[in-house]
Amino acid sequence: MNKNSKVLALKYRPQTFEDLIGQEVITETIINSIKLNKAPNAYLFTGIRGVGKTTIARIVAKSLNCLSGVDNLCKNNFCDNCKAISNSSHIDVLEMDAASKTGVDDVRDLIEFSRYGPTSSKFKIFIIDEVHMLSKQAFNALLKTLEEPPHYENGGSLKFIFATTEIKKIPITVVSRCQRFDLTRIKSGELFNYIKKIKDKENGKITDDALKLIVKISEGSVRDALSLLDRSLLTFDNKQELDLSTAQKIFGYFDKSQLIDIFRLIFQGEEKKVIETYRKIYDQGIEPKVFMNEFLELIYYFKNIDSLTLENTNFSLNDKEFSEIKNLSNSINNKILILFWQFAIKTLDELDKVSNQNLSLEMFLMRLMYLSSENVSENLLNKENANNSTEKNFEIKEETSLKTDTVDQIKNVTQEKKIKLENQNEIKAEVEISIKSFEQLIRVCNEKKEIKLKYELEKNINLVRFEEKRIEISFNDNLDKNFVKELSLKLFEWTGQRWIITFSKQKGEITIKEKEKNKKKEFIKKTKDTKLYQNILDKFSDANLIDIISDKEMNE
């Protein structure tokens, strides 16, 4: 076959250790063992697809049988042995696919063949690819030969080289008789430089951003990257340059900035725009599972962006997208992101159960919008974010007919979830209490020994409006962040009904404590105008009335 007609994965397959990328430690170990004449009886290479397991197996076979010797291994002009091994035609190097020959009889034939010494090389070598496919009996038949392989008159011996993608399926008795090498995924930067060089050799016209997308999709597999590059080079036949946008259409991926926009719109409560943006992505031909996996990846970046660099993202993000995520993540509660992750994983499982996966994803995005409101309500209770949060138009209503002039009406989602849980468990108030006013609410708190709630209501709450099953308030910076949840649960427990607590931008009435303080000041002022107080000043000129304590306060 003409070399130029080969696919890139075969055309540029490494022929020497110097051609390999990303496995430097492993290659150095192997070379040293061969030079010191300490090559193991059996090699075991494991790793994901396309990282060089079979390729390294052939290079090891060449290194053991090269006619130029260990110290002068063939690099450019191959000897007869190296050429034959490269073409899989060497008589002493047998390559076997365990996926097609899995039985014990196949292994017995192999062992029988091993009794005869090599004809034109020092070592007889058996390369078994996908070795985990062998049967249990076949593995057992190999054990004795693996541990004590035959030695030949020429000073050589039998060597086994195993390759597998599923190391756990190989019996431990076999693994312990091999020298194991775990091949790692190729790093993004190294793989990018590698395919860029090949692109230049092929005179391809592909932008760096498109190449980065190939690296991302290949997930560290050189073969996958070269296959995608091969496909890219054939797109325009070198008539025009392949850019990122076209590459995304070819490979079924979409611009990550669209996904970041969806995140932003979710937290802004823009339900219509969220669905519109998603439908644009769907219309590009994106598979729902691809969308969900990209969504999960973005959740990870939002959660861990402070501990990541642009290089850690595997070319999944560009500079602008990385910066946008970093800025937006500062206003998102990590608890919400963890909940997003759980919902996304659950939705990914649900996709196989529904006929229209697109509708399932739209419902998923809408659920996230309502879930995200918990993040907003917590920010409202945070001193640093209170002003910014109330200016955003987040609004969750129990009914569409409920309309008020309240700015940023937010129903606490946590209270709703806990209330639903209590409903499911049929927890009901023993004696339902009717609460008709704010003052009555404070009295009930006192009667029920809820001193903390009573303190918050009197000290840190400004009442805007009190209606049946609905309280509208503003607050100061000292309000406890769990106040809304605790009050909502207690109201449900006492009244047997669900109450909605909303926050208003209006200042509202002064607090109960401030009212009492003003009332006492006025009382002190009036007392100072009395004749009794003037008589006291006549006898004690330096006297001053500081406070007045009532009989009720004395008893308390």
Question: Domains along the chain?
Answer: 3-182 (3.40.50.300), 188-251 (1.10.8.60), 256-391 (1.20.272.10), 413-503 (no CATH), 512-555 (no CATH)
Query: Is the CB of residue 266 less than 8 Å from the CB of residue 274?
Result: yes
User: What is the per-residue pLDDT for 378?
Assistant: 47
Mean pLDDT of 117-135: 90
Q: What is the DSSP-derived secondary structure letter of residue 391?
A: H
pLDDT digits (tens, 9 = 90+) for 106-116: 888 888 888 88
Helices (H), 90-187: 104-114, 136-147, 172-175
Most confident by average pLDDT, 469-473, 522-526, 539-543: 469-473
Q: What is the value of pTM for the model shown?
A: 0.60
Most confident by average pLDDT, 73-87, 385-399, 416-430: 73-87
Rg, Å, the chain Cα set: 37
Q: What is the DSSP string of 6-27?
A: S-HHHHT---SGGG--S-HHHH
Three-state SS at 508: coil
User: What is the per-residue pLDDT for 310?
Assistant: 67
User: What is the per-residue pLDDT for 217?
Assistant: 86
Three-state SS at 116: coil
pLDDT of 432 > 60? The answer is yes
Q: What is the DSSP-derived secondary structure letter of residue 87?
A: T
What token pair was written down for 412? Answer: 């606490």
User: What is the per-residue pLDDT for 454?
Assistant: 83
In the block, tokens 């995200």 appear at: 372
User: What is the per-residue pLDDT for 29?
Assistant: 92
Q: Residue 550's pLDDT band (boundaries 50, 70, 90)?
A: low
User: What is the per-residue pLDDT for 388?
Assistant: 42
What token pair was written down for 430? Answer: 């023993």
Query: Is the CB of residue 152 less than 8 Å from the CB of residue 120?
Result: no
Q: Could you tell me which residue, 453 or 182, shows the higher pLDDT?
A: 182
pLDDT digits (tens, 9 = 90+) for 339-392: 899 989 999 888 888 888 888 899 999 888 877 654 444 444 443 344 444 443
User: What is the per-residue pLDDT for 373?
Assistant: 56
Percent of the chain with pLDDT over 90: 20
Mean pLDDT of 418-440: 61
SS3 labels along 303-336: HHHHHCCHHHHCCCCCHHHHHHHHHHHCCCCHHH
Which is nearest to 141 in space by CA: 181, 112, 176, 99?
112
Q: Give the dihedral of Cα atoms 88, 93, 96, 102; nearest 10 deg.
A: 170
CB atoms within 10 A of CB 49: 12
Three-state SS at 163: strand
Please count the CA atoms within 13 angstroms of the CA of 551 that sit on its side-chain side: 0
Mean pLDDT of 136-151: 90
User: Among 19-23, 211-215, 375-379, 457-461, where is mean pLDDT lowest?
Assistant: 375-379
- Between vectors from CA 338 to CA 334 and to CA 344, what angle results, nearest 5°? 140
Mean pLDDT of 74-101: 87
pLDDT digits (tens, 9 = 90+) for 319-334: 778 888 888 888 788 8
| Chain-centroid distance, C-alpha 178 | 36
pLDDT of 58 > 70? The answer is yes
Please count the CA atoms within 13 angstroms of the CA of 303 that sit on its side-chain side: 14
What token pair was written down for 84? Answer: 């034959």
- Report the relative pairing of strands 461-467 and 470-475 from DSSP bridges: antiparallel
Q: Could you tell me which residue, 520 or 37, shows the higher pLDDT?
A: 37
User: What is the per-residue pLDDT for 315?
Assistant: 66
Mean pLDDT of 478-494: 83
User: What is the per-residue pLDDT for 447?
Assistant: 86
pLDDT digits (tens, 9 = 90+) for 159-217: 999 999 999 999 999 999 999 999 988 988 899 999 999 999 988 889 988 898 898 88
Three-state SS at 96: strand
User: What is the per-residue pLDDT for 553?
Assistant: 56
User: What is the per-residue pLDDT for 5?
Assistant: 65
Helices (H), 131-243: 136-147, 172-175, 188-201, 208-218, 222-233
Most confident by average pLDDT, 163-177, 237-251, 292-306, 455-469: 163-177
User: What is the per-residue pLDDT for 403?
Assistant: 37
User: What is the per-residue pLDDT for 180?
Assistant: 94
User: What is the per-residue pLDDT for 175?
Assistant: 94
The one-letter amino acid code at 550 reads S
User: Among 220-224, 259-263, 306-310, 378-382, where is mean pLDDT lowest?
Assistant: 378-382
Three-state SS at 545: coil
Q: Residue 314's pLDDT band (boundaries 50, 70, 90)?
A: low
User: What is the per-residue pLDDT for 42?
Assistant: 93
The β-bridge partners of 474 are: 462
> Crossing angle of helices 208-218/188-201, nearest 10°?
130
What token pair was written down for 332? Answer: 């998102």
CB burial class (10 A; 0-12, 13-18, 19+) of residue 106?
A: middle
User: What is the per-residue pLDDT for 60?
Assistant: 93
In the block, tokens 């996908």 appear at: 130
pLDDT of 240 > 90? The answer is no
CA-to-CA dists, residue 367 to 267, 282, 360, 362, angstroms: 12, 18, 11, 9
What token pair was written down for 492? Answer: 């449900």
| Chain-centroid distance, C-alpha 208 | 25
Averaged pLDDT of the chain? 81
User: What is the per-residue pLDDT for 379?
Assistant: 47
> Crossing angle of helices 451-459/438-447, nearest 10°?
150
